[in-house]
């Protein structure tokens, strides 16, 4: 799975950057035959370049490879389409969907982020896409394997996504986590009154949840999160327990469905990117 | 579900009134669990002494002990009432390092002081407070069970403990369920009124707990999702926004599924049957 995440990074970087930025020949991907991928033809011409970049960089093929170690009991659709909506949550019918609208919005928000953000704009764009992809993938995993979920479902999906982000070494973890939380910070709006009735947590809560998982995974790697004041000390004390709790739950509920013999079949590549 | 109802009926005994004498005798004799230890800890502040005595007279911890007795605990769990702070901060907490569930005199005292003057959701004022205390205890029971039974918790544990508290309460008859759910929601609003659980700046969101508003909506949503007919008033747009209400049945189903997969296997069926055989709630 470690190399799998790197593959997702590769996928996202390929998505965000021009196809020509990847000079190495495309990897020979080992796909999951149960994953059915679709690059939807967008009606909005503005999204066509996004689709072409995705296809050129085998974005969904790489996600299929990432899911390779999972023993899927039935076909799983994974698609990038024009949704005519900001996003489309996972469902057992439509599968995992990332909307062209989401990708465009991610890039727009990242580019408008204030300069004092915890991450650069390209880093945010890459990591936000990873976060969305892993968040939706988490919902798919929870649904497919009927995994019991305590806590709010969206937070559980975030913790599962964070866990995956953190399994691939310090460099990847730093880049992706700071990028993802930087994007949450850049996306923040003011929550009042009945806004709090939402089943989704405020961006600031998600910011701290991801940082806490990361700090809990490795206080040494993420010591800067506390030192720089991104994560309050009072929260940080219990983060190792939070991480351990999520990891224990992952091991108990998800790992039984992972074919560990296939973990080594995932290709790893992280190209540098620039935003359009 | 029937066996669960029995267990919850026992909880009803614990928190909502005295049981028939024969039932109490039968249950207290057989609903024991060697892993459950209780302790009323003397308060340092003498002002809390009458409160401790009241809890003793009500057999507060003995009843909680009975309620939890069907749970097959791998380790000892100590149930205590105690003074927790010097400044009177209301609290209750589970301490995992020594498997100890603490109900602070401060929280009981605080709940006494915020008794509403009017019924809430048709629940009489004093019962609202009984419901609030029950919800708080059940929340801590949630932490204790997650820890003791090594329950896989993928989401945020504080929300999970609220979910378990609400779920357990909702297995009562509707009057009892409404009492606990109302008490739980009322407690959040009361805490909000004194500035607890209210985000004052961005860093407030770093708290492991949801905001008071989030916790208020969460419990109402689970209740509505459990029985949209019985809790129809919660779906009024002035209470639960329609976009949240429409997903509440699914939220309740998620909690029920998690309960049956992760906690129910640790319930002793023989003790559950005993609980089933007794009519616990007063007429």
What one-character-per-residue DSSP string does A175-230 give? HHHHHHHHHHHHH-----GGGGG-SSPPHHHHHHHHHHHHHHH-TTTTHHHHHTTS
CA dihedral angle for residue A195, residue A130, residue A95, residue A247, rounded to 10 degrees: -80
Residues 6+ apart with CB under 8 A from A108: none
**pLDDT, position A16:** 39
Which residue numbers in chain A have pLDDT < 70?
1-27, 266-276
Q: Which two tokens stand for residue A137?
A: 């993938």
- Number of C-alpha atoms within 13 angstroms, CB side, residue A29? 24
**pLDDT, position B28:** 61
A147: nearest CA partner in chain B: B258
Residue B277 CA: distances (Å) to CA of B5, B63, B66, B170, B271: 11, 17, 15, 20, 10
Q: What's the average pLDDT block by block, 10 residues per block, for chain B (283 residues)?
A: 33 40 59 91 97 94 86 94 93 93 96 94 92 92 95 98 93 84 94 85 94 97 97 95 97 97 92 60 39
**pLDDT, position A75:** 96
> How far is residue A144's CA from residue B215's CA, in Å, rounded to a whole number?
29
The alpha carbon of A55 is separated from its chain's Cα centroid by a whole number of angstroms, namely: 19
Contact residues, chain A, for B221 at CB < 8 Å: 197, 199
Nearest to B206 among A146, A153, A232 (CB): A232
What are the backbone dihedrals phi and psi of residue B102, each rounded to the nearest 5 degrees, phi first? -115, 125
Coil/strand/helix, residue A129 = helix
The answer to whether B205 contacts A207, with C-beta atoms less than 8 Å apart, is: yes
**pLDDT, position A26:** 55
A236: nearest CA partner in chain B: B206
A234 interface with B at CB cutoff 8 Å: yes
Nearest to B244 among A149, A156, A197 (CB): A197
Contact residues, chain B, for A196 at CB < 8 Å: 211, 213-214, 217
Interface test with B, best of A195, A197, A246, A248 (most B CBs within 10 A): A197
CA distance A154 to chain B (A): 8
Contact residues, chain A, for B154 at CB < 8 Å: 142, 147, 149-151, 156, 159-160, 246, 249-250, 253
ipTM of the complex model: 0.89
**pLDDT, position B176:** 82
pLDDT, one tens digit per residue, over A153-195 is 999 999 999 998 898 789 889 999 999 999 999 998 899 889 9
DSSP secondary structure code for residue B42 in this structure: P
Could you give the angle at the alpha carbon of B217 between the alpha carbons of B267 and A238, nearest 5°?
65
A191 interface with B at CB cutoff 8 Å: yes
**pLDDT, position B169:** 86
A249 interface with B at CB cutoff 8 Å: yes
User: How much is the mean pLDDT over chain A?
Assistant: 86
Express as a percent the part of chain A with pLDDT over 70. 86
> How far is residue A110's CA from residue B183's CA, in Å, rounded to a whole number?
43
B197: nearest CA partner in chain A: A196
The answer to whether A151 contacts B154, with C-beta atoms less than 8 Å apart, is: yes
A114 interface with B at CB cutoff 8 Å: no
Q: Which two tokens stand for residue A199?
A: 């089943």
**pLDDT, position B7:** 36
**pLDDT, position A164:** 86
CA distance A177 to chain B (A): 16
The answer to whether B150 contacts A248, with C-beta atoms less than 8 Å apart, is: yes
A256 interface with B at CB cutoff 8 Å: no
CB A157: neighbour CB atoms within 10 A? Answer: 24
> How far is residue A123's CA from residue A118's CA, in Å, rounded to a whole number?
10
pLDDT, one tens digit per residue, over A192-227 is 889 999 999 999 999 999 999 999 999 999 999 999
B157: nearest CA partner in chain A: A151
Contact residues, chain A, for B261 at CB < 8 Å: 148
Residues 6+ apart with CB under 8 A from A180: A124, A127, A128, A130, A131, A165, A210
Q: Which two tokens stand for residue B137?
A: 């205890």
> How far is residue A21's CA from residue A118's CA, in Å, rounded to a whole number?
25
DSSP secondary structure code for residue A146 in this structure: T
Nearest to A196 among B153, B217, B251 (CB): B217
The answer to whether B152 contacts A148, with C-beta atoms less than 8 Å apart, is: yes
Q: The whole model's pTM is what?
A: 0.89
CB B269: neighbour CB atoms within 10 A? Answer: 10
**pLDDT, position A150:** 98
Q: Which two tokens stand for residue B259?
A: 């309960």
The answer to whether B218 contacts A194, with C-beta atoms less than 8 Å apart, is: no
């Amino acid at each position: 799975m470690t190399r799998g995440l790197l593959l997702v990074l590769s996928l996202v970087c390929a998505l965000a950057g021009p196809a020509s930025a990847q000079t190495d020949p495309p990897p020979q991907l080992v796909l999951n035959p149960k994953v059915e991928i679709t690059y939807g033809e967008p009606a909005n011409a503005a999204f066509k370049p996004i689709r072409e970049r995705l296809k050129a960089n085998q974005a969904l093929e790489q996600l299929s490879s990432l899911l390779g170690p999972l023993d899927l009991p039935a076909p799983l659709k994974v698609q990038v389409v024009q949704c005519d909506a900001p996003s489309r949550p996972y469902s057992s019918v439509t599968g995992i969907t990332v909307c062209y609208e989401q990708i465009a919005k991610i890039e727009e928000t990242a580019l408008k982020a204030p300069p004092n953000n915890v991450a650069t704009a390209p880093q945010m764009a890459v990591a936000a896409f990873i976060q969305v992809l892993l968040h939706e993938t988490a919902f798919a995993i929870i649904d497919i394997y009927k995994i019991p979920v305590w806590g709010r479902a969206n937070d559980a999906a975030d913790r599962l996504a964070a866990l995956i982000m953190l399994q691939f070494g310090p460099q990847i973890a730093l880049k992706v986590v700071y990028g993802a939380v930087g994007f949450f910070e850049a996306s923040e709006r003011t929550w009042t009154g009945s806004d709090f009735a939402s089943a989704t947590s405020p961006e600031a809560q998600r910011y701290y949840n991801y940082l806490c998982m990361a700090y809990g995974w490795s206080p040494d790697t993420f010591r800067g999160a506390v030192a720089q004041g991104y994560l309050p000390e009072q929260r940080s004390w219990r983060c190792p327990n939070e991480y351990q709790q999520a990891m224990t739950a992952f091991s108990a509920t998800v790992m039984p469905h992972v074919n560990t013999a296939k973990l080594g079949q995932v290709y790893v590549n992280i190209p540098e990117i620039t935003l359009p | 579900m029937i066996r669960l109802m029995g267990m919850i009926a026992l909880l009803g005994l614990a928190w909502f009134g005295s049981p028939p004498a024969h039932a109490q005798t039968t249950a207290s004799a057989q609903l024991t669990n060697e892993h459950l230890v209780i302790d009323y800890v003397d308060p340092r502040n003498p002002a809390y002494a009458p409160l401790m005595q009241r809890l003793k007279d009500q057999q507060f911890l003995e009843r909680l002990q009975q309620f939890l007795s069907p749970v097959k605990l791998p380790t000892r769990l100590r149930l205590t009432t105690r003074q927790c702070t010097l400044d009177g901060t209301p609290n209750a907490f589970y301490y995992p390092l020594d498997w100890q569930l603490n109900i602070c005199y401060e929280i009981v005292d605080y709940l006494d002081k915020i008794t509403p003057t009017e019924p809430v959701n048709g629940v009489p004022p004093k019962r609202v407070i009984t419901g609030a205390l029950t919800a708080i205890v059940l929340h801590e029971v949630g932490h204790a069970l997650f820890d003791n039974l090594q329950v896989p918790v993928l989401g945020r544990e504080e929300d999970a403990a609220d979910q378990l508290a609400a779920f357990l309460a909702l297995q009562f008859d509707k009057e009892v369920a409404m009492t606990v759910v109302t008490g739980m929601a009322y407690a959040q609003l009361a805490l909000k009124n004194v500035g607890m659980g209210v985000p004052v700046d961005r860093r407030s969101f770093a708290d492991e707990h949801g905001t008071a508003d989030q916790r208020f909506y969460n419990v109402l949503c689970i209740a509505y999702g459990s029985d949209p007919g019985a809790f129809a008033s919660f779906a009024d747009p002035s209470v639960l926004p329609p976009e949240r209400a429409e997903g509440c049945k699914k939220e309740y189903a998620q909690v029920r599924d998690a309960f049956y997969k992760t906690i129910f296997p640790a319930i002793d069926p023989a003790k559950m049957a005993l609980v089933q055989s007794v009519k616990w709630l007063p007429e």
